[in-house]
Amino acid sequence: MNTWLVISVLFGSVFITGIMTLLFESFFSKIKQYITTIGVSFVLSLICIHILPELFVNNTPNLGIYLLVGFLVQIILELFSRGVEHGHVHGHEPQYSHNHKEGAEITNKVIYTLFFGLCVHAFIEGIPLFIIEDAQHHGHTHIHSTQDAFSSVFFWAIVSHKIPVAIVLMLFFISAKIKKSTVLVLFFIFAFMSPLGGLAGASLQDQNWFNFLSVNLLAITSGMLLHITTLLIFEEYHNNKDKVKNIFLIIGGILLGLIIFS
């Protein structure tokens, strides 16, 4: 895919989703759970049928270790992000604050650490976006030709994952009673972090030390996505009273991924 098209779609999908959530808060509050469950199930199907098989076909040593590192990195980042990547905020759901005093408390104590964690996550997640195609064209690695498809699948996995995150983050901003001008600035920064990570990865691709780490970075980001998707699916299943509906949503998301990318 064209570099600027990738950046535009990735940025636009997040930013436009945030704006729509800001304009139609009550509607997105009602459908948030459904979008989140279907979205992460869709991403999980992409991880299982494309990303992991095509990652391990490289026979790069210790990829499993880097996959586990991704798990641990995500756990650490959630100390800051409070689980927004999972489709909710631990201890601070949008209905949490009911007055201005509590809203101010959320803003002062939580909002910037949460925002920092999400931005770091988005930046790391975006680094491998252009690595595969560039590495293949420059002849630095022995990645098979199927990896062109892998880069596209990874891109769509990020987009699918970021849309529900954008909804939850905007609902959190609204609940924290932040000024709309500040919200728009913060959301613009957040939407640009994954594209910025992709550009950083592409600019460093000619560096030998970075090229050596490129496949390992893919394993780390895959581990982060795997942690998010599996935890949310299990969490939603056990905490959701309507388990039958939730199972159908999970199955629907997985089947959607299978139909589109098989």
The whole-number pLDDT of residue 143 equals 41
Nearest residue to 83 via CA among 118, 132, 33, 40: 118
Condensed to tens digits (0 to 9), the pLDDT of residues 212-262 reads 677 888 889 999 988 888 887 776 555 666 778 888 888 999 999 898 877
pLDDT value at 93 more than 50 = no
When divided into structural domains, the chain yields a total of: 1
The whole-number pLDDT of residue 144 equals 40
Non-local CB neighbours of 198 within 8 Å, separated by 6+ positions = 6, 7, 10, 126, 127, 128, 129, 130
Query: Residues 20, 26, 27, 28: what is their CA dihedral angle, to the nearest 10 degrees?
Result: 60
The whole-number pLDDT of residue 151 equals 65
Condensed to tens digits (0 to 9), the pLDDT of residues 201-219 reads 888 877 777 766 778 888 8
Query: Residues 134, 135, 140, 145: what is their CA dihedral angle, to the nearest 10 degrees?
Result: -120
Condensed to tens digits (0 to 9), the pLDDT of residues 12-58 reads 999 999 999 999 999 999 988 888 888 889 999 988 888 888 888 87
The whole-number pLDDT of residue 26 equals 93
The whole-number pLDDT of residue 148 equals 44
**Mean pLDDT, rounded, for 162-178:** 88
Domain enclosing residue 200, as ranges: 3-261
